[in-house]
Amino acid sequence: MAELTIADLAVDYGPVRALGGITLSVPSGSIVAVLGANGAGKTTLLRAVSGTLRFHRGRVTAGRIALDGDRVDGLPAAAAVRRGVTHVPEGRRVFARMTVAENLRAGGLGTPRAAAAKAAQWVHELFPVLAERAHQRAGLLSGGEQQMLAIGRALMADPKVLLLDEPTLGLAPQMAARIAQTVRTINAAGTSVLLVEQNVAMALSLASHAYVLEVGQVTLEGPASELAGSDEVRRRYLGET
Ligand code: ATP
């Protein structure tokens, strides 16, 4: 369990400013949601935290990111994982040609053996289907199963903070609800969660606090229950008039 704090974070992709000074925090043991339209900068925020920005030609140009007070910005992705920050990217990105078991093993590569063994047990408890399909190629799994695998792979690194990018995107409602329930279970077991989610109603039902991003700026934030009741949020994101 750990607290993630982000202060005045600015990110550029070459000449394009994607984040213009974002401040937010994920208190230890909480679920915090980030909402916003396409292109608002949600994915960029998660990439900056996980150290994967450089794979997309992006660069942190200002600000600080800290885990329990220790700076983690500027770390390579593998080092961020070792510090306890793991990112489940949008679109799942499982290794399609590898088996389920190989995907999970890859997630635990930098993890001490005992912690990885414990994590594997936890992943199979959360997602029994991953044990049943251990020897199947990941690319043959359904979308929901691939999302389970992507989350399972991230859990293999025994994270303190899980960054989830649109985990229910493209899933049938029943599967989306299952994934949401699993996010709750993972959080209840002690992992802080920073959740980017296009399903605003679901995100607000999971999170304790939420931030709305617009063109790289936080324009609204508050307790999730308050945002769920806000006329502006209901109109803009929940399709109500
Ligand atoms: P989506 O839900 O569509 O992923 P988002 O809120 O996650 O949207 P980002 O993907 O973070 O938004 O994009 C923020 C801004 O940065 C957008 O203007 C986008 O065009 C730009 N951007 C994202 N990735 C790159 C990149 N690799 N190179 C240049 N610009 C980028």
pLDDT tens digits for 32-87?
A: 999 998 899 999 999 999 999 999 999 999 999 999 999 999 899 999 999 999 99
Q: Is 82 helix (H, G, I), strand (E, B) or coil?
A: helix
| 65 in Cβ contact with 48 (< 8 Å) | yes
pTM of the model: 0.94
Q: Is the pLDDT confidence value at 240 over 70?
A: no
Measuring from atom 27 of ligand 1, which residue has the nearest CA? 56
Beta bridge partners of 58: 13
Residue type, 215: V
| 227 in Cβ contact with 238 (< 8 Å) | no
Round to whole Å and give the CA distance between 221 and 217: 11
Measuring from atom 3 of ligand 1, which residue has the nearest CA? 38
Q: What is the per-residue pLDDT across 106-156, written as a single tens digit (0 to 9) for each?
A: 999 988 889 899 999 999 999 999 999 999 999 999 999 999 999 999 999
Ligand 1 pocket member 36 (CB < 6 A): yes
Q: Which of 9, 11, 12, 13 to mutate to test the pocket of ligand 1 (most atoms within 8 A of CB)?
A: 13
- Tokens 């799942």 belong to 92
Buried b (16+ CB within 10 A) or exposed e, 62-94: ebebbbeeeebbebebeebbebbbbbbbbebeb
- ipTM confidence: 0.94
Q: What is the DSSP string of 170-194?
A: T--HHHHHHHHHHHHHHHHTT-EEE
- Tokens (6 digits) for 184: 């709750």
> Nearest 5 degrees, angle CA 227-CA 229-CA 230?
65
Q: What is the pLDDT of residue 74?
A: 86
In what helix (H) or strand (E) does residue 232 lie, and over which residues does it extend?
helix 231-237
